[in-house]
């Protein structure tokens, strides 16, 4: 593993492996120096950063941050604390922003089956707004009708697959098949039946 594989990224482009692989003592011990863009690249909380620091120190491996140089115990403590505080505050601001969008009648993110991102009269994306996908409304009505008639989500999914109806993630990620959990949805996210 080369230093260029871990600089500034939590996923190493050359290997596709997570930076968590760098936590293994054999990996740290095979390097005399680990070069990072910023300390928050080692972990989202101080505990993970300290674990990495302890493993590196035990293996006589130095940690260097671009633009700062070698990091010692005090640097790791202060920088990881500030990074954790920043990420916590960023999360709170993001949630408040999303709540404001939703309260204003806009989408908080993500696409649901039967909807697409709305576009304006000149083809521009209307951020936070959805438009109904007419071709999918009949499928949604079918699912609700069959469910109301007592058909189980598993049987509904089997029927949709039998009829060759593409699943929500039929192109790209996912299996392309309807499943029981596609119909059931996710109670925590308030989607599905």
- Residue 88: pLDDT over 60: yes
Asked if 66 and 7 count as a contact pair (C-beta separation under 8 A), the reply is yes
Average pLDDT over residues 49-76: 89
- Please check the confidence at residue 154 and state whether its pLDDT lies above 90: yes
CATH topology of domain 3-103: Rossmann fold (3.40.50)
Mean predicted confidence (pLDDT) in 152-165:
92
> Tens digit of pLDDT for each residue in 105-141?
887 777 788 888 889 999 898 888 888 999 899 999 9
The full set of domain ranges for the chain reads: 3-103, 115-189
Q: Give the span between the Cα atoms of 96 and 99, in whole angstroms.
A: 5
What is the C-alpha to C-alpha distance for residues 156 and 148, in angstroms, rounded to an integer? 11
User: What pLDDT does 137 receive?
Assistant: 92
61-65, 102-106, 171-175: least confidently modelled range: 171-175
- Name the DSSP class of 20: G
Q: What are phi and psi of 85, to 5 degrees?
A: -65, -45
Say how many C-beta atoms besides its own lie within 10 A of residue 13's C-beta: 9
According to the model, what pLDDT value does residue 108 have? 77
CA geometry: angle at 28 spanning 23 and 30, to 5°? 145
Section 132-151 average pLDDT:
93
The pLDDT, as a whole number, for residue 3 is 44
Average predicted confidence (pLDDT) for the chain:
80
Is the pLDDT at 193 greater than 60, yes or no? Answer: no
Which uninterrupted H or E stretch holds 125? Answer: strand 125-132
Query: pLDDT tier at 10 (50, 70, 90 boundaries)?
Result: very low
* Three-state secondary structure readout of 126-181: EEEEEEECHHHHHHHHHHHHHHHCCCCHHHHHHHHHHCCCCCCCCCCCCCCCCCHH
pLDDT single digits (tens) 13-61: 444 445 556 666 666 666 788 888 888 878 777 888 888 888 888 888 8
Percent of all residues in the chain with a pLDDT value above 70, rounded to a whole number: 76
Q: What is the pLDDT of residue 102?
A: 83
Answer whether 34's CB lies under 8 Å from 61's CB. yes
Q: How confident is the model at residue 75 (pLDDT cuts 50, 70, 90)?
A: very high
């Amino acid at each position: 593993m080369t230093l260029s594989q871990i600089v500034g990224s939590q996923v190493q482009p050359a290997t596709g492996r997570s930076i968590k692989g760098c936590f293994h003592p054999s990996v740290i011990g095979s390097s005399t120096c680990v070069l990072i863009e910023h300390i928050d690249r080692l972990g989202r909380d101080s505990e993970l950063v300290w674990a990495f620091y302890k493993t590196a120190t035990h293996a006589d491996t130095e940690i260097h941050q671009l633009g700062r140089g070698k990091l010692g115990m005090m640097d790791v403590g202060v920088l990881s604390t500030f990074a954790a505080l920043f990420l916590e505050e960023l999360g709170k601001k993001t949630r408040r922003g999303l709540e404001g969008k939703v309260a204003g009648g806009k989408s908080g993110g993500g696409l649901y089956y039967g909807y697409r991102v709305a576009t304006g009269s000149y083809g521009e994306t209307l951020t936070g707004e959805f438009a109904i996908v007419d071709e999918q409304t009949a499928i949604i009505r079918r699912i609700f009708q069959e469910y109301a008639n007592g058909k189980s989500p598993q049987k509904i999914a089997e029927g949709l697959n039998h009829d060759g109806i593409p699943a929500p993630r039929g192109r790209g990620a996912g299996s392309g098949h309807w499943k029981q959990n596609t119909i059931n949805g996710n109670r925590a996210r308030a989607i599905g039946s």
